[in-house]
C-alpha cells in the first residue's frame, strides 16, 4: 500500500507498509508457528485478511497547533506535531469530517492543549464510524469543564454540517500526559450509543468501551467463532472479556445459556442492549473482573471463550480452568505471545484448530483464534 505520509517520513506507524500484504501474512504465520512450536496443532486454517486500506473505523487524533489552525494527528517523540488527517487507513468520510472539525474548533474556541506548556483545553478528538449506516460518534477529550458551555453552544453548527454525527460527548481528562481518557464522560447528544451490525448481529458502540477497530476482519472473526461453536455440543458458554458482546452474541442460540463478563460497565450496557434487540433471554452480561467472576462459579459451562487484552488471561485463570476443566476453550488473542504462554499453562487440552486474522495490516500485530478441546 502507498502512504504519502510514510514516504515523507512524517509517520512511521505502519512499519511493514512497504511489504505486499501477502508477504506480511506469511511473516505473521511464521511468527505464529514459531510461538506455538512446542504445541501440537491438529488443524491450521488459512489466514483471513480484509481490505488493505480505509479499513479502520476509529481515529484517535491528538489536537495540537493553534485554535485558528488546529492540527489533528500525533506528536512525534520530540514533541513536534504531525497532521494525519490524510492517513489512508481511514475511510474517505473521515477526511470530510476532519475538514469540518478544524473550523469548528476555532468557532467553539477550543484551544488545543499544548503539552510542553501544559496549557489549552482540547487534547484529543476520537471519531468512530458505524458500517451500518455511516453514523459517527465523536468524543472531545478536554482538560477541564471550563469550555463545555462554549462547546455546547457551538455544536448545532457542527451538527448541521455533519448530519451523520449521532453520538457526541466530552471526556474530561485533567491529568497531564496520562492515559488518553479520563473517568468523566459528559453526553452532548440524546443518543448515547452508535448502532453497528456484523453478520446481522446488532452491536452498540459507546464511549468508554472497547470496540474492534477493523470491522471487516472483526466480522469474519466473530463469524468463525460462531461456526466453530455451532459445530460443538454447547448448551452453556461463557464469554470472558466480552466487551460489547460480539463473540457471545454471535454464538448464542435460543436454547443456549450465555454469560458474558467484562470489566467496563459501558460495554456491558451495549451488550445488554444487543441481547434485548435479538430477543435472547438466557443471556447474562455482567460488569465484573473475569477471574473474580469465574473462580466463585459452581455451574461450569461446556465452553469458555476468552478474548483478553494484550497481557493474556493470566496464571490464576489458567489454574482455575485446569481445575474445573470445561470441555472446550476458545481463545481469541491480539498477542500470540501471551496466548502461547497461557496455553502452555493449560493442562489436559489439545489444540484442535488455529486461525490467524489480519486485524492490523502493515504492522507486526495480528489476531488469532484457537480452539482447545479437553483430552
Ligand atoms: C481485546 S478486548 C475484547 C473485547 C471483546 N471480546 C470484543 O470482541 O470486542 C478485551 C476486553 O477485556 C476487558 N477487560 C480488561 N480487563 C478485564 C478484566 N480483568 N476482567 C474482565 N474484562 C476485562 C477490556 O475492557 C476489553 O473490553
Ligand atoms: S498510520 Fe496512516 S499515516 Fe501513518 S504510516 Fe500508517 S497509513 Fe501512513
Q: 138 and 248 share a domain?
A: no
Query: Among candidates 218, 231, 246, 367, which has minimal Cα distance to 305?
Result: 246
Strands 122-129 and 136-142: antiparallel
Q: 147 and 255 share a domain?
A: no
Q: Which atom of ligand 2 is nearest to the CA of 88?
A: 7
- The cell for 213 is 477497530
Q: From ligand 1's centre to the CA of 331, what distance in Å?
A: 13
**Residue of 242, 251, 318, 334 marked catalytic:** 334
Q: 364 and 221 share a domain?
A: yes
Q: Report the distance separating Cα 181 and Cα 208, nearest Å.
A: 8
pLDDT reported for residue 233: 97
Is residue 197 one of the residues assigned to a domain? no
Q: Is 242 a catalytic residue?
A: no
Mean pLDDT over 59-84 rounds to 96
Is residue 203 one of the residues assigned to a domain? no
Which residue matches cell numbers 457526541? Answer: 168
Distance of CA 114 to the CA centre of its chain: 28
- Residue 177 scores a pLDDT above 80: no
For residue 30, count other CB atoms closer than 10 A to its CB: 10
Q: 246 and 333 share a domain?
A: yes
pLDDT tens digits for range 100-142: 999 999 999 999 999 889 999 999 999 999 999 999 999 999 9
Q: 223 and 337 share a domain?
A: yes
Q: 236 and 368 share a domain?
A: yes
Query: Among candidates 305, 250, 239, 255, which has minimal Cα distance to 275?
Result: 250
- Residue 178 scores a pLDDT above 90: no
Write the DSSP assignment of 205-266 as a string of letters: E-TTS---S-HHHHHHHHHHHHHHHHTS--SEEEEET-TT-HHHHHH--TT-EEEEEES-HH
Q: 245 and 184 share a domain?
A: no
Q: From ligand 2's centre to the CA of 73, what distance in Å?
A: 10
- Find the ligand nearest to 208 CA: 1
Is residue 227 one of the residues assigned to a domain? yes
Instruction: Give me the CATH number covering residue 343.
Output: 3.40.50.150
Q: 294 and 324 share a domain?
A: yes
pLDDT tens digits for range 273-306: 999 999 998 999 999 999 999 999 999 999 999 9
Is residue 202 one of the residues assigned to a domain? no
pLDDT tens digits for range 222-245: 999 999 999 999 999 999 999 999
pLDDT reported for residue 176: 75
Report residues whose beta carbon is within 6 angstroms of any ligand 1 atom. 210, 212, 241-244, 246-247, 261-264, 267, 289-290, 307-309, 334
Q: 221 and 348 share a domain?
A: yes
> Does residue 171 contact residue 185 with C-beta atoms inside 8 Å?
yes
- Residue 180 scores a pLDDT above 90: no
> Does residue 291 contact residue 316 with C-beta atoms inside 8 Å?
yes
Supply the mean pLDDT for the chain. Answer: 97
Instruction: Give me the CATH number covering residue 150.
Output: 2.40.50.1070
Q: 235 and 351 share a domain?
A: yes
Which are the contacts of 281, defined by CB distance < 8 A and separation ≥ 6? none
Q: Report the distance separating Cα 123 and Cα 60, nearest Å.
A: 10
From 132, 159, 191, the end of a domain falls on 191
Q: 48 and 85 share a domain?
A: no
Mean pLDDT over 17-46 rounds to 97
Q: Report the distance separating Cα 25 and Cα 42, nearest Å.
A: 21
pLDDT reported for residue 179: 82
**Residue 98 annotated in ligand binding:** no
Provide Rg for the chain, Cα atoms. Answer: 22
Q: From ligand 1's centre to the CA of 56, what distance in Å?
A: 19
Per the structure, the complete domain to which residue 47 belongs is given by 4-52+214-374
Is residue 209 one of the residues assigned to a domain? no
Q: 227 and 269 share a domain?
A: yes
Q: What is the pTM of this model?
A: 0.97
Amino acid at each position: 500500500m502507498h502512504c504519502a505520509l510514510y514516504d515523507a517520513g512524517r509517520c512511521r506507524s505502519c512499519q511493514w507498509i512497504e511489504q505486499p500484504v501477502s508477504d506480511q501474512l506469511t511473516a505473521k504465520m511464521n511468527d505464529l508457528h514459531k510461538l506455538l512450536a512446542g504445541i501440537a496443532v491438529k488443524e491450521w486454517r488459512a489466514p483471513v485478511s480484509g481490505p488493505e486500506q480505509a479499513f479502520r473505523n476509529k481515529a484517535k487524533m491528538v489536537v495540537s497547533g493553534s485554535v485558528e489552525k488546529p492540527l489533528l494527528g500525533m506528536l512525534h517523540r520530540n514533541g513536534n506535531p504531525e497532521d494525519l488527517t490524510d492517513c489512508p487507513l481511514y475511510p474517505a468520510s473521515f477526511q470530510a469530517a476532519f475538514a469540518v472539525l478544524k473550523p469548528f474548533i476555532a468557532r467553539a474556541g477550543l484551544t488545543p492543549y499544548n503539552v510542553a506548556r501544559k496549557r489549552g483545553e482540547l487534547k484529543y478528538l476520537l471519531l468512530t464510524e458505524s458500517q451500518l449506516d455511516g453514523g459517527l460518534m465523536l468524543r472531545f477529550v478536554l482538560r477541564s469543564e471550563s469550555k463545555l458551555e462554549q462547546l455546547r453552544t457551538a455544536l448545532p453548527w457542527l451538527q448541521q454540517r455533519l448530519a451523520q454525527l449521532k453520538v457526541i460527548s466530552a471526556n474530561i481528562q485533567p491529568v497531564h500526559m496520562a492515559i488518553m481518557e479520563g473517568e468523566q464522560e459528559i453526553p452532548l447528544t440524546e443518543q448515547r450509543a452508535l448502532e453497528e451490525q456484523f453478520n446481522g448481529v446488532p452491536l452498540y458502540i459507546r464511549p468508554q468501551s472497547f470496540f474492534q477497530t477493523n470491522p471487516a476482519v472483526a466480522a469474519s472473526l466473530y463469524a468463525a467463532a460462531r461456526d466453530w461453536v455451532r459445530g460443538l455440543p454447547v448448551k452453556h458458554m461463557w464469554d470472558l472479556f466480552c466487551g460489547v458482546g460480539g463473540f457471545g452474541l454471535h454464538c448464542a442460540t435460543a436454547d443456549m445459556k450465555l454469560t458474558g463478563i467484562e470489566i467496563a460497565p459501558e460495554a456491558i450496557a451495549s451488550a445488554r442492549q444487543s441481547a434485548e434487540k435479538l430477543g435472547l433471554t438466557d443471556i447474562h452480561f455482567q460488569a465484573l473482573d473475569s477471574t473474580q467472576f469465574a473462580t466463585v462459579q459452581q455451574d461450569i459451562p461446556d465452553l469458555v471463550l476468552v478474548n483478553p487484552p494484550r497481557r493474556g488471561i493470566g496464571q490464576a485463570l489458567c489454574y482455575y480452568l485446569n481445575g474445573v476443566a470445561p470441555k472446550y476453550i476458545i481463545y481469541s488473542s491480539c498477542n500470540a505471545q501471551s496466548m502461547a504462554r497461557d496455553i502452555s499453562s493449560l493442562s489436559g487440552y489439545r489444540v484442535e484448530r488455529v486461525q490467524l486474522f489480519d486485524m492490523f495490516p502493515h504492522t507486526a500485530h495480528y489476531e488469532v483464534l484457537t480452539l482447545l478441546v479437553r483430552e
